[in-house]
Amino acid sequence: MRVGCAAYSYRDYLKPGKMTLEDFLDKAVEMKLDGVELTSYYFPSTEDAYLYDVKRKAYRRGLDISGTAVGNIFCVPKEDERAEQIALVKTWVDCAVKLGAPCVRVFAGRVPEGSTEQDAFGWTVEALKECVAYAAPKGILIAMENHGGLTATSDGTLALFRAVDSDWLGSNLDLGNYAGDSYAEIEKTAPYAITCHAKTEVPGPEGKVEADLARMVDILDKAGYKGYLSIEYEAEEDAMTAVPKFAAQLRSLVDRKR
């Protein structure tokens, strides 16, 4: 396993322009990370020149670009609006090719009011199949995150994987998004993981509780996972102080498995 960080962890700095993606790359180097997940929200441009410049800067810093991420929703009743969401994913598949990233993180979505879960499931399967058909010939994996809605449980997540049935679709396993018995849910999804989001907290009966990171790393290791643990920090402490500490903790746990 390798340790990385999602740009989303520094959203409070990237969104208002207090930090650039280049600054984020420098921060990753400071933390001795292996790679970075570059969330689409923080790209000021998707022009080739800019994407290639980011790729060059990451390479010169010794960083993998472990993936990109979009904020799509496939659970959309109107076909034309759903087509826009699919087009967004396709755009970032092309961006991933140019950045040298192996995968694009996507969401499924929640059942919209007035629709059934069966409707939403069908829309999502159809959209995922179209995205996978577009991405696979370009060598890009689609990584669907467990992110509430249809993917609130491991059973719901795995049902989508089985319905799409493609080696080019896998899990962006978010270790902090499953409620209930988080660790049992993680264990069921781990064999499908192609990338992971590492969190400092998991949902508890009365709110967030500290994550048992050692247990999570053990589960992933037993499942044969060899990919990235990309920090997606969402807790209260400022990311500038919290993320480096979290990165060091993850590195220590991962190094024990080598």
The 10s digit of each residue's pLDDT in 217-229 is 999 999 999 999 9
pLDDT at res. 205: 87
Residue 258 has pLDDT above 90, yes or no: no
Domains of the chain: 2-255 (3.20.20.150)
pLDDT at res. 191: 98
pTM over 0.85: yes
> pLDDT digit string (tens) for 31-47?
999 999 999 999 999 99
Residue 118 has pLDDT above 90, yes or no: yes
Across 196-201, average pLDDT: 97
**Exposed (0-12), middle (13-18) or buried (19+): which is 50, by Cβ within 10 Å?**
middle
Across 6-21, average pLDDT: 97
CA 219, CA 256: separation in Å to the nearest integer? 14
CA 148, CA 143: separation in Å to the nearest integer? 15
> pLDDT digit string (tens) for 119-154?
999 999 999 999 999 999 999 999 999 999 999 999
**Exposed (0-12), middle (13-18) or buried (19+): which is 81, by Cβ within 10 Å?**
exposed
**Exposed (0-12), middle (13-18) or buried (19+): which is 49, by Cβ within 10 Å?**
exposed
pLDDT above 70 coverage of the chain, percent: 100
Confidence band (pLDDT; 50, 70, 90) for 206? confident
- DSSP-assigned states of every residue in the chain: -EEEEEGGGGHHHHTTTSS-HHHHHHHHHHTT-SEEEEEGGG-S---HHHHHHHHHHHHHTT-EEEEEE-------SSHHHHHHHHHHHHHHHHHHHHHT-SEEEE----PPTT--HHHHHHHHHHHHHHHHHHHGGGT-EEEEE--BTTBSSHHHHHHHHHHH--TTEEEEEETT---SSHHHHHHHHGGGEEEEEE-SEEEETTEEEE--HHHHHHHHHHTT--SEEEE---SSS-HHHHHHHHHHHHHHHHHTT-
Residue 5 has pLDDT above 90, yes or no: yes
Beta bridge partners of 5: 36, 231
> pLDDT digit string (tens) for 43-73?
999 999 999 999 999 999 999 999 999 999 9
Q: Considering the chain, what is the average pLDDT of its residues? A: 97
**Sequence-distant (≥ 6) Cβ neighbours of residue 205 within 8 angstroms:** none
pLDDT at res. 168: 98
